[in-house]
Amino acid sequence: MRSCTPAVTDPHERLVYATTGDGLELRGALIRSATPTDAPLCLWVHTRQQSFAEREYIGIGRLLAARGRDFLSVDTRGHDFGAWYRTGDGRALHGSAWERFSDCVHDLDAWVDFAVARGYRRTVLIGHGFGGAKVLHFQAQRRRPEVVAVALASSGASARDKFSDEAHTLARGMVDAGRGRDLMPWGTGGDGSTNTVSAEWYVARARMHAELYGTETLPPAIARVAVPVLAWYGANERRANRDVDVLLDWLRSNAVESPRFVGRIVDDLGFFYRGRESLVADVLVDGLQRLDPQVKPAVSGTDVARGRGR
């Protein structure tokens, strides 16, 4: 009988778990530096239909750990396309097609609590894509003192609503008929023909829109974040009828409570970071040094890096 040799594991990497206030168990990967510093923990939040374990996320984390920065890549309940959770009340369906956007507050509260319980006094929240919308919403709502900076990685969702109103009548009718968890026609999810969302998700987007982009009486989420903000976009990101310079300028002009804003358009980078992990790690480390989140945010002004990445 062939014997199996256990794989050698890195003592500085481990799977971790956090439980939300409403009883969901979330997964993450904690990657610690072999030479710890007092730098804030980098807490990375995935984009839609992705999860904490994406190869590029772990690669970025390892590169940051090599530079003395601990890294935590986490799931929210909106990971992957669909996800079943076991709860005391039975199974609960979430994932990117069924999650309620406002629930991300419960998820990120759990992860910040996790970090505090393990001795991290300061945390930088980093949201990739739709994860950027989540970290903005969370910090605008909760204003956790442990969060010393927010980073938005290719997060167009934080600056505009990409879902049209064309299918709203259909979604509303499905919800009224008790079919709110049924999926809308393919192509409804905003990313071409390869995406869809549930009718409940589509109807609820109006509330998400108001929270993220503001109303006549409510400023956008970015305007209510009172910590330093780092934002970058890849010059190669394909965004039909959307200029990443415009998105960056919108964020900068609305970050009115942030003591410092650093923005960057990065050459040779697209929306997904596979194969460009080293470049993203460079952008992140450089941006955090500009923000200096180890210092209590008390400076004023805006620092916008208009130079291109390498």
Pairing relationship of beta strands 123-128 and 41-45 according to DSSP bridges: parallel
Q: Distance between alpha carbon 187 and the CA centroid of its chain, in Å? A: 23
Pairing relationship of beta strands 83-87 and 90-94 according to DSSP bridges: antiparallel
Distances (CA, A) of 34 to 39, 42, 114, 183, 280: 13, 15, 20, 46, 21
Residue 299 CA to residue 293 CA, distance in Å, equals 11
Computed from CA positions of residues 169, 130, 211, 73, in that sequence, does the dihedral angle turn out positive or negative?
A: positive
- Per-residue pLDDT at 253: 97
- Per-residue pLDDT at 240: 57
Domain residue limits at 230: 13-164+222-291
Other Cβ atoms less than 10 A from the Cβ of 95: the count is: 19
Residue 193 lies in a domain: no
Pairing relationship of beta strands 71-74 and 90-94 according to DSSP bridges: unpaired
What's the CATH code of the domain at 98? 3.40.50.1820
- Per-residue pLDDT at 188: 75
Residue 205 lies in a domain: no
Residue 182 lies in a domain: no
**Lookup: tokens for 51:** 């999860």
Computed from CA positions of residues 15, 294, 133, 216, in that sequence, does the dihedral angle turn out positive or negative?
A: positive
- Per-residue pLDDT at 268: 95
Residue-wise DSSP of 157-195: GGT-----STTHHHHHHHHHTT-TTSBPPTTTTSSGGG-
**Lookup: tokens for 52:** 């904490």
Per-residue pLDDT tens, the chain, 310 aa: give them.
Answer: 444 444 445 779 999 999 999 999 999 999 999 987 889 999 999 999 999 999 999 999 999 999 999 999 999 999 999 999 988 788 888 999 999 899 999 999 999 999 999 999 999 999 999 999 999 999 999 999 999 999 999 998 876 655 666 788 899 999 999 999 999 988 776 555 568 889 998 888 878 888 999 999 999 999 999 999 999 999 999 765 568 899 999 999 999 999 999 999 999 999 999 999 999 999 999 999 999 755 443 333 344 443 333 3
Cβ-in-10-Å burial (0-12, 13-18, 19+) of 24 comes to buried
- Per-residue pLDDT at 305: 42
**Lookup: tokens for 197:** 């969302």
* 3-class secondary-structure state, position 214: coil
Residue 117 lies in a domain: yes
Residue 73 CA to residue 112 CA, distance in Å, equals 12
Residue 208 lies in a domain: no
* Type and span of the H or E element at 74: strand 71-74
Residue 126 is given by DSSP the state E
pTM, rounded to two decimals: 0.88
- Domains held by the chain: number: 1
Give me the long-range contacts of 82-88 (CB less than 8 A, separation at least 24).
85/24, 85/25, 86/25, 87/22, 87/23, 87/24, 88/23
- Per-residue pLDDT at 206: 79
Residue 252 CA to residue 240 CA, distance in Å, equals 21
